[in-house]
Amino acid sequence: MSSLIWLVVVVVLGGFVALSYNSLVQRRNRVKNAWSQIDVQLKRRIELIPNLVETVKGYADFEQKTLQQVIAARNVAMSAPSTVAGQAGADNALSGALRQLFALSESYPDLKANASFLSLQEELSNTESRIAYARQFYNDAVLSYNNAVHSFPSVIFASLFKFKESEFFEATDAEKTAPKVQF
């Protein structure tokens, strides 16, 4: 009889360990999936930028410095490390450069009326919305995962099976404020 009780206890504990482990794996995979969604949108935006730059280059008196900043930010984003911090920094720099470009375009009526420019601006605006949604989804997944990694009793299994806390995708101070445009 006592061996049956021990067997039940071992099975229950084994089941609890398996459920806890599987829950951590599912949450970690949700974080990875959410990150890949951000990555897809960031790459989509990077692919749109050369077309935007070529469209704007047709306006010879347009701010060349701003175009160079957009190109430089795109190059940094393309070569950024695949870490959350690396991608977040590159993304934030690229977002700032694009905001500056669109703010300056307001003073060029011909450019604002250009169908290609308007189409690309709309595409980039939609992509920015997708990136914002993907970042929110990612951060929600990270919050859920990190809570599981730090909560009792799963903290025991997280430590035992080497589950590490994930980083949030955070906005920089520059991204939290509106760009200042001077003419």
6-51 pLDDT tens trace: 988 899 999 988 999 999 999 999 999 999 999 999 999 999 999 8
pLDDT band for position 2 (cuts 50, 70, 90): confident
pLDDT value of position 111: 79
83 DSSP 8-state letter: S
Average pLDDT for 61-85: 86
pLDDT value of position 61: 63
Letter string b/e over residues 158-173, b meaning 16 or more CB atoms within 10 A of that residue's CB: beeeebeebbebeeee
Cβ atoms within 10 Å, residue 14: 10
pLDDT value of position 138: 96
Domain boundaries, the chain: 34-183
68 touches 113 (CB < 8 A):
no
Nearest Cα to Cα of residue 98 among 54, 32, 53 = 53
Query: Which whole-number Å values give the CA distances from 5 to 2, 8, 10, 12, 163, in the listed order?
Result: 5, 5, 9, 11, 32
- Furthest CA-CA distance within the chain: 90
Q: Does the pLDDT value for residue 183 go beyond 50?
A: no
**What is the pTM assigned to this prediction?**
0.78
CATH class of 34-183: mainly alpha
